[in-house]
Amino acid sequence: MNAAVSPFRIETFKVACSNCNLRELCLPVGVSDEQIERLDRLVGARRSVPRGDALFHAGDGFASLYAVRTGFFKTCVASEDGREQVTGFQMAGELLGLDGIGTERHTVDAVALEDSQVCVIPYHQLTDLSRELSDLQRQFHKIMSREIVRDHGVMLLLGSMRAEERMAAFLLNLTQRLRARGFSATDLVLRMTREEIGSYLGLKLETVSRAFSKFQDDGILEVRQRQIRILDAAALQKLVNVPSR
């Protein structure tokens, strides 16, 4: 998702929040420059996750949170029987692993949808540090709270919207997050399959596909495989806001 950094720069610049272009979206929000250096020491390791690999699995012991630095992830829960549900898609600056704090074990799989890099944030060190830095504590709490609010939004979507409304809400959410990261809000490349979108939205892949075709026919989107161009964002917005049942 992010501009590639040449190997040379990787070597010379220290891996640190203080010179990370995501710091306005990530854990350091609201943390002063002097204090951010202490975060730098905490976020030591980077970890690369090739496309298709899991960063962690449900059931794995929990020790760290992960901040997406580059790339794109999905998280899935599975019930005892085979059912699977994608619970979210994470892009640069977003935190993975919050589910593991409660039970000391992860409860979801986090899978990279493209070659990705994450910053490893040892949880116990984070809590130690946030006891000293109240700005960090505050930001961490906010991130957790917003995750809860986001989940409520998905519940609303799953509980009360029809297929095309869900798709519209999904696309608007994606573009909004891409825009916040400096990408185009009209041209995007989906990192996930129709099936993964469907799982997230509680729909079958055929329904997702049909919705894309419908939107294209209506002149709202241009769809070519995973390349999407949004021609009429207002129409999408109207779909979400005007209830049809």
Partner DNA sequence: CGCGAGCTTGATGCCGATCAATGCATGTGG
Partner DNA sequence: CCACATGCATTGATCGGCATCAAGCTCGCG
Please give the residue ranges that form the binding site for a second copy (CB under 8 A): 77, 79-85, 87, 98-103, 107-108, 127, 130-132, 134, 137-138, 141-149, 151-156, 158-161, 199-202, 240-243
Segment contacting DNA (CB under 7 A): 13-21, 95-103, 130-138, 191-199?
A: 191-199
Q: What angle do CA 105, 60, 129 make, to 5 degrees?
A: 55
Report if residue 138 touches DNA, rule: CB under 7 A. no
As measured in angstroms, the least distance from the Cβ of 52 to DNA is 9
Q: Residue 202 belongs to what H/E stretch?
A: none
Q: Residue 228 belongs to what H/E stretch?
A: strand 227-230
Quick one: what does residue 99 bind among DNA, a second copy, none, with the CB cut-off 5 to 8 Å set by partner type?
A: a second copy
- Counted residue by residue, the chain has a size of 245
Cα separation, 100 vs 56, whole angstroms: 10
Report if residue 199 touches DNA, rule: CB under 7 A. no
Cα separation, 179 vs 20, whole angstroms: 18
Query: Which residue number, 20 or 154, has a Cβ lying nearer to a second copy?
Result: 154
Query: Which residue number, 71 or 198, has a Cβ lying nearer to a second copy?
Result: 198
Query: Which residue number, 12 or 225, has a Cβ lying nearer to DNA?
Result: 225
| CA count, 13 A, side-chain hemisphere, 88 | 20
Residues 6+ apart with CB under 8 A from 77: 58, 84, 85, 87, 107, 108
Applying the rule CB under 7 A, the residues between 155 and 184 that interact with DNA are 162-164
Which residues bind to DNA, rule: CB under 7 A? 162-164, 190, 193-195, 198, 202-210, 212-213, 223, 225-226, 245
